[in-house]
Chain A
């Protein structure tokens, strides 16, 4: 996973609420056995419109996406995060996310920034003409117009993003604890093993 600290550039002023992962990447793009190339299918129904934001001269390849409430709701498909990453997006800024999507985003080096709607409204305005600056280390989103918004992030997620950490390697350090748990489970509740 590519580490992430500071991201600056154009931010797509998308702003829609309840954007589900079927919209981010429709199911027919899921018929693949690799993670690559998902960007082609990203926001397919919206990009059918030739005047869409994502393919406009200003926002094509923009590293930041500004969205509305409950971004990434619906399906657990990690393909949504892969598709955003393939479009070049490293940061999403929204008032809230679905729980599964925000986890998937972090595991793919994409930072889900949570800001209140008022901040989103202001950033949507700035983003139409000017860049946005995101600083994970200091947990801020700023603009060249003295806007400065602080955001909260879980310290574990922050560390994973800053260091580009592989969670499986981290968990493997707890191998003994997992073994001890399994042993105790077998002793306390042996019926938990599938009977057949």
Chain B
């Protein structure tokens, strides 16, 4: 009998092309997602060395980081120009590089365009048990359907384009088990914010995290993608959630997913991937779902999490001297005083979007809170950015766009947007944003911008009251 293995070990073992004399392995990559920001230098490298793309059939290119979220076509259906010349040049480079190297290209004006990490699962291009890479750290997202997916640098993008492999060392394994039922108003985002607060921003470094337990199994695929998306915020290069009936139901019939007899063979294989009874992890963290409240960040690291009912901590309350210094720096940047109630912090900007929280379930959750209400007067800028053109169309079919616009929020075109402010969507310096994105880093949403990470329902609640708000108070 073979040794019991974890989900991670099974996927890893199935992808070893060659083991080197040391622990390094040549790992086969099943899917490669390419966007405009981290690929131009890789394509230039291929050109300079006269190399081609080994497996264009396993690669999809889609622009997302730079694209404006305002209209992309004029009334006559012609493409509108991109105002920023640098963004325009990057977008043009991808549009040229993809066909030149034989790669599928989804244009910014195509109906299925969107954030790479929304598009992959939505198209059935991302599948359980596959290895997926992209020059973007939130590739961890695809772990939500049971794929071993991680972000890579541009040199690795070039390496995958040329060889369809990567030289990697096996990671350690970490189980984060969330048992029990979450309370009302607590979403997948609150679960992962809470986890990040518990394990810390470096808690998963060197590990792949498998999320297990009844609270994780109860999540929809959208929710699982949200959780795994932020594995990287806990330091883990990848997250994983075992594929199950919920996953299969979500993937069935999607354009690139297997069909007919292939589908049955695929499901049988996927069912064999779950961690074996008796398999061990290098580290296990157990969390009681009942302990998770609607959560919010106060600082400039995603580990700086408190329940919305909490207060801004005193830097002196941290045991670690370097954390004390970091917290003091964070509070100065955030313009917050220790002891302030989180619910008393006013916000001028609202961002609902990003690869963490821009899927249909996220938009439904935000719309449910905001329906029949209006944004507060002190909220100057509030945008809703769907994760893809298909999410946008679905939301419009359900009338969600009208709920948002009636409430005074702007309904935008899909892209990464204010999550990292590479396009024109930025939070002004010194202002706060209740944001459904994944990073509250210094300057992340624009120079001097102050980010509070929250769930979609919590962002909607903040839009209504003009301050960070416990969404449970607005729930019927």
Contact B159 A174 (CB under 8 A): no
Q: Across the interface, which residues of B come within 8 angstroms of A20, CB to CB?
A: 301, 439, 441-442
Q: Which residue of B lies closest to A73 (CB)?
A: B201
Q: Which of B38, B124, B323, B421 contacts A78 (CB 8 A)?
A: B38
Q: Across the interface, which residues of B come within 8 angstroms of A78, CB to CB?
A: 38, 41, 135, 153-155
User: In the bound complex, how far is the Cα of B320 from the Cα of A17, in angstroms?
Assistant: 11
Stretch at the interface among B83-91, B287-295, B390-398: B83-91
Within 8 A of A (CB), among B152-173: 152-156, 158-159, 162-165, 167, 169, 171
Q: Does B422 contact A (CB under 8 A)?
A: yes
- The contact size tier of chain A is 35 or more
User: How many contacts between A and B, using CB within 8 angstroms?
Assistant: 206
- Count of chain B residues with a beta carbon within 8 Å of a chain A beta carbon: 86
Q: Which of A32, A107, A191, A193 contacts B57 (CB 8 A)?
A: A193
Closest-CB distance, B156 to chain A (whole angstroms)? 7
- Contacts A17-B326, A103-B156 given; does A31 touch B86 at CB 8 Å: yes
Stretch at the interface among B259-267, B361-369, B371-379: B259-267
Within 8 A of A (CB), among B225-271: 232, 235, 237, 255-259, 262-263, 265-266, 269
Contact A16 B37 (CB under 8 A): no
Q: Which residue of B lies closest to A169 (CB)?
A: B49
Contact A33 B41 (CB under 8 A): yes
Contact B255 A195 (CB under 8 A): yes
Q: Which of B130, B202, B206, B262 contacts A73 (CB 8 A)?
A: B202
Closest-CB distance, B18 to chain A (whole angstroms)? 5
Q: Across the interface, which residues of B come within 8 angstroms of A131, CB to CB?
A: none
Stretch at the interface among A2-10, A21-29, A54-62, A137-145: A21-29
Contact A178 B151 (CB under 8 A): no
Q: Does A34 contact B (CB under 8 A)?
A: yes
Identify the B interface with A (CB < 8 A).
17-18, 20, 22-24, 26, 28, 30-31, 37-38, 40-41, 44, 49, 51, 54-55, 57-58, 65-66, 84, 86-87, 89-90, 93, 124-125, 127, 130, 135-137, 139, 150-156, 158-159, 162-165, 167, 169, 171, 201-202, 205-206, 232, 235, 237, 255-259, 262-263, 265-266, 269, 301, 303, 322-323, 325-326, 329, 420-422, 439, 441-444, 447
19 A-B residue pairs with CB within 8 Å: A18-B202, A18-B303, A20-B442, A22-B441, A30-B65, A31-B422, A34-B41, A35-B41, A45-B447, A75-B136, A77-B153, A103-B156, A156-B169, A177-B26, A189-B266, A191-B265, A195-B124, A195-B257, A196-B256
